[in-house]
Amino acid sequence: MSRKPKILVVGSFVMDLIVKSERFPNAGETVLGLDYQTAPGGKGANQAVQAALLGADVTMVGKVGNDDFGRRLIASCQEAGVNTDYVGKHSTACSAIGNVQLEVQNGTTRNRIIVVSGANMEIKPEDVAFLKDIIDKYDMVILQHEIPMQINELVAKYAYDKQVPVMLNSAPSAPLTDEMLSRLAFISPNEHEAADLTGVPIRKDGKQVNMEDVKKAVEALLAKGIQNVVITLGNAGAVVANKEEFIYEPCIDVVKVQDPTAAGDSFVGAFTTSYCAGLSLKDSLHFANYTATLTVSRMGAQPSLPKLEEVVALMQRENDLTFPLSALDGLK
């Protein structure tokens, strides 16, 4: 592709309130924390920012509250180069917040997140009706589950009717209609969300994953009419598959994990951007893994998302000779 890919993200904004401690508290217990910070996040906004930082032309559609968090969330997207002209401000609902707890213990970091959806759930059909006439200007539409399902279904129909591919990051886990699934060019659950959608539990032991379980889950999703399935497997890596290909890549374990928050969003933004830029499924998976690897080495959601030159630099540092770096020239 000679021009930068045009990506439309319809999704969520969330201000993350991040607390780090040596262990999670038990019920009724108080523990002293190590650190606290706020950081712009939200699955939709994270994916939009990541795609923009990697060189895509990104437009974001969503809703925030008419409050300080809302203004900061919009500003963070704008600073990354995301078009926020279609982001609304709700007059009474607050901007969404995410309570992010990080447990740092024995050199590892785990997270627990509670999201209060606020203005994200106030997006109405009339707020996205305009997309019906302009959605064919985009190379890909990215959706997630932090906004009303009715809105996702409507936008997916607009895109499907105009033959625009849709990437659904099916997180957090929620049931999906067969009609919605049949309109997807890509679905990207993690192993837990894939199990919820298919009824196929994916067994893992550390970094080892039962690949037969993964294949069964992929087959079940493809049978619903989805064209391509991307399943992220945490520290076990990720797969991308369709009826002709099944590609697995282990986790690129070359950094110290600081905060896994937004790693999945980073992966989705990078995969979509590279694929829309003309890379193969295999190379897009590889590029997305490197991008997410950088993300987990930093704190916060959007503050952790890397730029294109940082991902390229990591590949060069690791002497990765298998990836066609010249294929990224259109993103620069």
Residue 184 · residue 160 · CB < 8 Å = no
Beta bridge partners of 230: 240
Give which of 123, 121, 146 is closest to 44, Cα–Cα.
146
* Residue 1 DSSP code: -
Amino acid at 267: F
CB atoms within 10 A of CB 30: 7
- Alpha-helical regions (H) of the chain: 43-53, 68-80, 125-128, 131-134, 149-161, 178-182, 191-198, 211-222, 263-276, 281-296, 308-317
Q: Give the Cα separation of 81 and 165 in Å (integer).
A: 23
DSSP string over 78-121: HHHT-EEEEEEEESSSPPEEEEEEEEEETTEEEEEEEEE-GGGG
Cα dihedral sign, 63-67-70-76: positive
Active site residue 213: no
- Which candidate in 139, 196, 265, 283 is catalytic? 265
Q: What is the CA radius of gyration of the chain?
A: 19
Q: What are phi and psi of 205, to 5 degrees?
A: -135, 95
Beta bridge partners of 204: 209
307 in helix, strand or coil?
coil
* Residue 20 DSSP code: E
Q: Which helix (H) or strand (E) holds 57?
A: strand 57-65
Catalytic residues: 265
